[in-house]
Structure 1
Amino acid sequence: MANLVGDDQGNTILGTEESDLIFGLGGSDTIDASLGDNTINGNLGPDQIRGGQGDDCIRGGQGNDLIFAGDGSDTLFGDLDNDTLYGERGNDLIFGNPGRDFLFGGSDNDTLVGGADDDTVLGEDGDDLIFGETNDDLLFGNDGRDFLFGQQGADSLYGGRSDDTLFGEDGNDLVWGDLGNDLLNGNVDNDTLRGGDGDDTLYGGRNDDSLLGGTGSDWLVGDKGSDTLTGGTGTDYFMLQVNSGIDLITDYSGSEDFLALEEGLNFDDLNIVQIENIGPDNSLIQSTVIQLIDSEKVIAILQGVEAANFTGADFVDSAGEPISIGRPSDGSENGFDITEGMGSTDSTTDSTTDSTDSASTVDSSNGSSDGSSSSIDLGSLI
């Protein structure tokens, strides 16, 4: 092992074929470690460091450093200031630490941690584990089955190709699955989730989130808060939850989409209400409200959907399986009532589904003027 030490000037230091201990000290240094498993510290100044073929441990030190890990399974630390770190080949562990850093994983399976300040982190090839840590970070999984964690700050996460798992965590995050069948979690604060291509699952988390499934067959779960759910193209599943806010479902299509009941929520617990609202251009907007019978709590609004078009076939359980409709209207059929209203005049629609096949019939008749739907204050949600 060789101990190679520079001085306070800008040095060029070349490693040996052994495992070296290299210190750049002050100045703008150029260090090429070559062979062996090396330990390198650039120390002060903006340094350029190349790790070589072994399993190296490289610290940039103070200054805006440029570090190339080379081959092997390397550990890189940007340390202070604004650094650019390349993992290149091998399974690398890369830390940006303080400063606005750029981290590139390279090939193979890497772990990248942005650290303090606003960092840009790219996993590149392989199955990568990516953490933004503090501040507002930009994270890209790229190729491979990646896990991305925004952590603190308003982060933007992009899964890239393959099947990725993304967690926005704290802050108002943008979480984008991109290609593949992705799992997206907004976690805390008001997040925007985009599934992209593929069959994705989106969880909004706490607060008021915006979820868009994109193309493919997606599951959209608003969780806590009053969320906006848009399925996009393909067969989508919108989860109805007891402890959520009022979720607005913008593009439900009874011909291809489904309403999923969370575990513990039964169809018998629901009341379906037809409402009308005047749009900004004075057009009449038909929407459907789904509320809990016992508490009269509204859990979802289906924008532009007429309640009379619903049948039992629109509902599935939390696993996507068809459900048995309770509240039978007679000995051979299962049915449910729909309340229609605007202001104080309601009407009732009886929708019945034959238990032996998928055929359904809908009959409408005026009900009593009990004003039941007028107690639902939806504000500007519709």
Structure 2
Amino acid sequence: MANIFGTDLDDTLTGTSGNDRIYGKAGNDTLSGGLGEDILDGSYGADTLKGEDGNDTLYGGNGDDLLEGGSGNDTLKGGADNDTLYGGAGSDRIAGGDGNDTIYGDFYTEVGNDRLYGGAGSDRIAGGAGSDEIYGEDGDDIISGGLIGNSSNDNDRLYGGKGKDTLVGEFGNDYLNGGDGDDYINGAGGRVFHWDGDVSRGRGEIDTLTGGWGKDSFILTGGSGRTGVGPSYIGSGNGDYALITDFNKNEDVISLAKTESSPVVYPAVTIEYSLGAAPEGFPQGTGIYVNNLGAKPDLIAILQGVSPDSLSLSGSYFQIS
């Protein structure tokens, strides 16, 4: 174990194979923990902190800092200003603090069940692989549960908090709660169609979407700039759907795609929707169905506690485009 102190200049400090404490002090410092369970404190300046191996704790302090946890179950705290934080492999806890921060739980090849907190400011937060809990807290945040292409085992819980937030669940059975403010909520984000002559089977995803206070938009259209319902709510009967728990037709909006197309096999097809009671054995309320892209009407969403007789697809609360 070593206690390592920098100066008021721009220092490069590297730990030992033990459990070290490294303090950058002033200046734009680079701190690397190495092996062991290390504590890195950037203090002042635009610092770069790398925990590397072990269960490390990183404090950015003041300045626009870059924090990388590395392997292990790490704790990262950005502090003041606009920080970028990467958890890396392991189950990490990351707090952006003040400022407009960018936070990543992990990448494609790294798995961990992370807890991510945006703090004050308008933050961009992505959980990555694993079942993550993400809290935007204050500010107008953009939150993604998982990066597109990850496993369907990514069952994330996203909470927007205050502000006009955008929440995207991506893969897995996700829970999304916008909190206060006028939020945009998308349970799945990517695509479900694999154009092999049939509409693809879904992945068994049931996303729970809660808008909270404010005028919320629930997005049930396809992602990646292409038309289509989705991404994972079409093509598998009633196995995939979005459960919207607090839809209010007097202030909320549901976005649906008008057409579905493939650049390879099919021309554009106009999607036909219908409203009806939710299927027996499901949460009760209004079911939203697609009529013409499968052998029978396909459930894509349930508006829990809402009577089908109180809604019309021509209402202003549905945007079909």
In the superposition, the TM-score normalised over structure 2's length comes to 0.71
1:199 aligned counterpart, secondary structure: coil
Alignment of 1:1-382 (within 5 A): 64-169=1-106, 170-205=111-146, 206=150, 207-241=154-188, 242-243=191-192, 245-249=205-209, 251-252=210-211, 256-260=215-219, 261=221, 262=223, 263-266=225-228, 269=229, 291-292=233-234, 297-305=239-247, 310=249, 314-316=253-255, 337-341=274-278, 343=280, 349=309, 351-353=312-314
**In structure 1, C-alpha distance between the alignment counterparts of 2:36 and 2:131, rounded to whole Å:** 26
Cα deviation code 1:321-372 (max 9, x no counterpart): xx8868xxxxxxxx95311145399996561437xxx599xxxxxxxxxxxx
**In structure 2, C-alpha distance between the alignment counterparts of 1:130 and 1:302, rounded to whole Å:** 36
Cα deviation code 1:134-169 (max 9, x no counterpart): 111100000111111110111100000000011111
**In structure 2, C-alpha distance between the alignment counterparts of 1:65 and 1:297, rounded to whole Å:** 56
CA-CA distance at 1:122 after TM superposition: 0.3
**In structure 1, C-alpha distance between the alignment counterparts of 2:18 and 2:317, rounded to whole Å:** 68
Cα deviation code 1:59-110 (max 9, x no counterpart): xxxxx21111112111001112111111111111100111111111121111
2:119 aligned counterpart, secondary structure: coil
CA-CA distance at 1:297 after TM superposition: 5.0
8 A Cα contact 2:73 2:89, kept in partner: yes
Unaligned runs of 5+ in 1: 1-63, 271-289, 317-322, 327-334, 361-382
Q: Which has the larger radius of gyration?
A: 1
8 A Cα contact 1:254 1:310, kept in partner: no
1:76 aligned counterpart, secondary structure: strand
Shift in CA distance, 359/182, structure 1 to aligned 2, threshold 3 Å: closer
8 A Cα contact 1:97 1:114, kept in partner: yes
Q: Which stretch of structure 1 is more off in the superposition, 126-135 or 240-249?
A: 240-249
Partner of 2:200: none
- Higher relative contact order structure (alpha carbons within 8 Å, sequence separation ≥ 6): 2
CA-CA distance at 1:111 after TM superposition: 0.5
2:81 aligned counterpart, secondary structure: coil
Shift in CA distance, 264/106, structure 1 to aligned 2, threshold 3 Å: same
Count of paired positions:
257
Shift in CA distance, 310/92, structure 1 to aligned 2, threshold 3 Å: same
8 A Cα contact 2:181 2:214, kept in partner: no
Alignment root-mean-square deviation, CA: 3.2
Unaligned runs of 5+ in 2: 193-202, 260-271, 288-306
In the superposition, the TM-score normalised over structure 1's length comes to 0.60
8 A Cα contact 2:116 2:134, kept in partner: yes
CA-CA distance at 1:303 after TM superposition: 2.2
Cα deviation code 1:287-317 (max 9, x no counterpart): xxx9437855523111254xxx65997134x
